[in-house]
Amino acid sequence: MPSPFPRTGQTIAAQPVVAGRALLLAAVVLLVGWVVWFTRAKVPVYETSDAARLEVYRATHPVDAPVAGRVTAVHFVLDAQVTEGDILAELDTDALRMQLAEAKARAAGLGPQLTATRRASGAEEGAVFAFRRESASAVAQARERFREGEIQARQAEDAARRAERLHQTGSVSEAEAVRLRAEADRGAANAAALKGEVLRLQRQSATGVSDRRTRIASLQRDVAELEADLASALATIESIQHDIERHILRAPATGRIGEVGALRVGSVVQIGERIATIVAEGDLRVVANFAPAAAIGRVRPGQTAQVRLDGYPWLEYGTLRAVVTDVASELRDDRARVELLVPRPSNPRIPLQHGLPGTVEVTVEETSPFKLLLRAVGRLVSAPGAPGRAQESAAPAPTAPPPTATSGGGR
């Protein structure tokens, strides 16, 4: 019986063929895409630690008493925040302060003495210069007078000799000759006296300069002694101030007081006694233990990682980002130690504390799923319990055939 709707029937009959072709084409496209992804895509490969532990990498600075003494003041409490240089405690310094006041008074007295002595030495130097100039002038004047007296003495001597010759001839009376001889003798005596005056002034100048040089040397010696005494006094002041500073215990670093010794006002501390311990703020680090095959040669500094803490489920709190900093080259307890740095700021939802346990996943490489499958197959084949390896190990080892006996007359 013919159908009343022939075209509609033909269309319905052709629909399964079109749908099948579309499905086949979609399947081919998906297969090609999957093959491309399977061979070309890059997926991260992780190595997971057996265990990990969060540590706050802090430097501890112990504060020990450098000297023994009685405590006079305490300026810190446990867990207090301190800054480098803050005064933590003070020891008794009364005796040292009295010594310091005495040394300062001594140094204050030596300063004016040294100044006065230096001025006296400078004045003596000026006096030597003036005395030399005056002495040189007096000696020059005495020499001039000596030369004049010497000339007069020679003239008188010549006159006396002429008078004596004339007296012998009768031209000059005897009285005149005697008078001229007396004047010649007085001139010679006067010249001798003037010469002696020159010598006396020269000796007086030399003696005066020598005396003043002696006084200058003495003053310079006094200056040197005063300078040495002043330097000693200043060194004593510095030493006492250093001792006083050692009696003031200051914070060696910025941080928190993590430990407090048995310290109270009035107690006596000994040299080297622990007063407190300052824990400086530091970076966060994670110490993880890996299997040797997973870490050695695969985990390297600079690789990124994720830290999942046991006490904070990562689906709810998230993870911590970390960077590998060090990988141990030697094993300890059959595990490789890996240290990672947690950059700040870290996850604000997780209150980080020292000692939190967890695990670490380190991104060691990126490779294709095809290579991962090949590795998995290789591990499966090379595993000790693999079927092929089991049959191979169960098969008996071939034995060598027994040697064939030959008779001696076979030749």
For the CA atoms of the chain, what is the radius of gyration? Answer: 58
Distance CA 411, CA 408 (A): 7
Q: Is the pLDDT of residue 399 over 50?
A: no
Rounded CA gap, 344 and 314, in Å?
A: 19
- Choice between 164 and 237, residue whose per-residue pLDDT is larger: 237
Is 168 a member of any domain? Answer: yes
Residues 111 and 238 in one domain: yes
What's the whole-number average pLDDT of the chain? 81
* DSSP state letters, 195-219: HHHHHHHHHHHHHHHHHHHHHHHHH
The residue-averaged pLDDT of 175-201 equals 83
- Cβ count near 113 (within 10 Å): 15
Q: pLDDT category, 184, cuts 50, 70, 90?
A: confident
Provide the percentage of residues in the chain whose pLDDT is more than 90.
17
Tell whether 75 and 201 lie within a shared domain.
Answer: no
Could you tell me if residue 115 is inside a domain?
Answer: yes
3-state class (DSSP) for residue 45? strand
304-325 average pLDDT score: 89
Place of tokens 């007063």: 275
**Token duo for residue 176:** 């005149």
Please report the pLDDT score of residue 405 as a whole number.
Answer: 37
CATH number at residue 262: 2.40.50.100
Asked, for residue 49, whether it belongs to a domain, the answer is: yes
Give percent of the chain above pLDDT 70: 87
Residues 311 and 182 both lie in one domain: no
Is 7 inside any structural domain? no
Q: How confident is the model at residue 385 (pLDDT cuts 50, 70, 90)?
A: low
Q: Which residues of 241-278 are buried (b: 16+ CB within 10 A; e: fewer)?
A: eebbeebebebebebebbebbebeeeeebeeeeebbbb
Give the CATH number for residue 358.
2.40.30.170
Q: What is the dihedral of CA 125, 127, 128, 132, to 10 degrees?
A: 150
Residues 231 and 101 in one domain: yes
Say yes or no: 150 and 192 in one domain. yes
Mean pLDDT computed over 134-145: 84
Give the pLDDT confidence of 142-173 residue by residue, as tens digits: 888 888 888 888 888 888 888 888 878 877 78
Strand order across the 60-64 sheet: 60-64, 274-279, 255-260, 81-82
Q: Taking every pair of C-alpha atoms in the chain, what is the biggest distance, in angstroms? A: 217
Mark whether 290 and 257 lie in a shared domain.
no
- pLDDT band at 301; cut points 50, 70, 90: very high
User: What is the pLDDT averaged over residues 374-392?
Assistant: 65
Whether 349 shows a pLDDT value over 70: the answer reads: yes
Same domain, 51 and 76: no
CA distance 114 to 287: 68
φ/ψ bin of 224: left (φ > 0), alpha (ψ from -120 to 50), beta (otherwise): alpha
Residues 263-283 have a mean pLDDT of 85
**In which band, very low, low, confident or very high, does the pLDDT at 138 lie, cut at 50, 70 and 90?**
confident
Same domain membership, residue 264 and residue 363: no
| Residues listed for the chain | 411
Q: For 202-215, how does the pLDDT look when each residue is reduced to its tens digit (9 = 90+)? A: 888 888 788 888 88
The answer to whether residue 3 sits within a structural domain is no
- Mean pLDDT score, 18-26: 76
- Which tokens belong to 158? 């010549």
In the block, tokens 């190990």 appear at: 393
My answer on whether 182 and 300 are in the same domain is: no
Domain span at 351: 40-57+282-380
Is residue 322 a part of any domain in this protein?
yes
Asked if residue 218 and residue 125 are part of one domain, the reply reads: yes
Q: Is residue 127 part of a domain?
A: yes
CATH of the domain at 103: 1.10.287
Global pTM reads: 0.49
Q: Taking a C-beta distance cutoff of 8 angstroms, is the pair 360, 339 a contact?
A: no
Q: Are residues 272 and 217 in the same domain?
A: no
Partners of 82 in the beta sheet?
Answer: 255
Q: Do 298 and 313 sit in the same domain of this protein?
A: yes
State which H helix or E strand residue 366 sits in: strand 357-367
Q: Summarize pLDDT for 49-108 with one digit per residue, the tens.
A: 888 888 766 667 889 989 999 999 998 888 888 998 999 999 999 999 999 999 999 999
- Cα→Cα distances 201→126, 141, 144, 149, Å: 20, 10, 13, 17
- In the chain, how many domains are there? 3
In a domain, 398, yes or no: no
Of 200, 220, 245, which residue sits at a domain end?
A: 245
Pull the structure tokens for residue 84: 């480098």
- Can you give the pLDDT at residue 398? 46
